[in-house]
Amino acid sequence: MGKALVLGGGGVAGIAWETGVLLGLSRAGVDLTDADLLVGTSAGATVAAQVATGVTLDALFDVQVSGGGAERSLELDPGSLAAAFAEAYTGGGGAQDIRRRLGAFALAADTPSEAERRVVVEARLPIQEWPDRDLRITAVDAHTGEFVVFDRTSGVELVSAVAASGAVPGVWPAVTIGERRFIDGGMRSAVNLDLATGFDRVVLIAPVTAGFQSDAASECDALRAAGAEVVLVGPDEAAVAALGTNLLDPGTRRPSAEAGLAQGTAVAAAVAEVWR
């Protein structure tokens, strides 16, 4: 029993928006950083790790609106990515088979190097040691499609766990940890809300509410059926416009953070009813 904060995937735009939402809530008197459990997937892994390690929301917000950090722009081919993902989903088998095919695509893709990507992730994490808190970071084994959850007992560096969770196939390199390679935890679910099972009060902040193999609303319903109070904060109309069509574009950071700040203030009363 207790309170769980779950943060979903959504690229650099999602990191900025989630940060704004959390700060808006905090300024309105609803501090979610005292959660008993923090779950992070992809973009949410970055924010969950930042919050869990004690970086202040004001400091995190300032980075987003100032354009700080080491974020980099990429020239993407959305058509090719969409085709590769479609092929993975039409290959038959179960959910893990789909994730395994996505992993194979990731391993074969031409992406920046792991070292280049690590520079970006390190810059996002001012504190790079696992906190003495229940922080869970999601990823997927690129070879087997197995869903994996990293925590402070996993023997994995926090930077590596966060990098793995955000390793979008075809965009960023699969992350090597030991003898295994890992890709984005969002390949299983954009939010992986079931990791909060057993907690009686749950707040889900999700820039993307429809994942590759699940949707946030259904995952919320499943937790409610198990007896939890759950509130979902997804992007409102202004946030959707700010997030834009390319969630990986660093140019979305400031407008997304500002939209999140406004939305966090607007939803504070509803969130407080669950968090109390």
- Tokens, residue 199: 């907690």
d(CA 53, CA 133): 9
134-141 and 147-150 strand pairing: antiparallel
Contact between 118 and 90 under an 8 Å Cβ cutoff? The reply is: no
Amino acid (one-letter) located at 4? A
The string of pLDDT tens digits covering residues 1-55 is 899 999 999 999 999 999 999 999 999 999 999 999 999 999 999 999 999 999 9
List, for residues 208-248, the tens digit of each pLDDT value: 998 666 799 999 999 999 999 999 999 999 999 999 999 99
pTM: 0.97
Residue 194 has pLDDT above 80, yes or no: yes
Report the pLDDT value the prediction gives residue 78, as an integer from 0 to 100.
82
Please report the pLDDT score of residue 199 as a whole number.
Answer: 98
Res 212: pLDDT: 67
Q: Which pair of tokens denotes residue 3? A: 């309170």
81 C-beta neighbours (distance < 10 Å), count: 16
- For residue 102, is pLDDT > 90? yes
Enter the tokens of residue 63: 């980075």
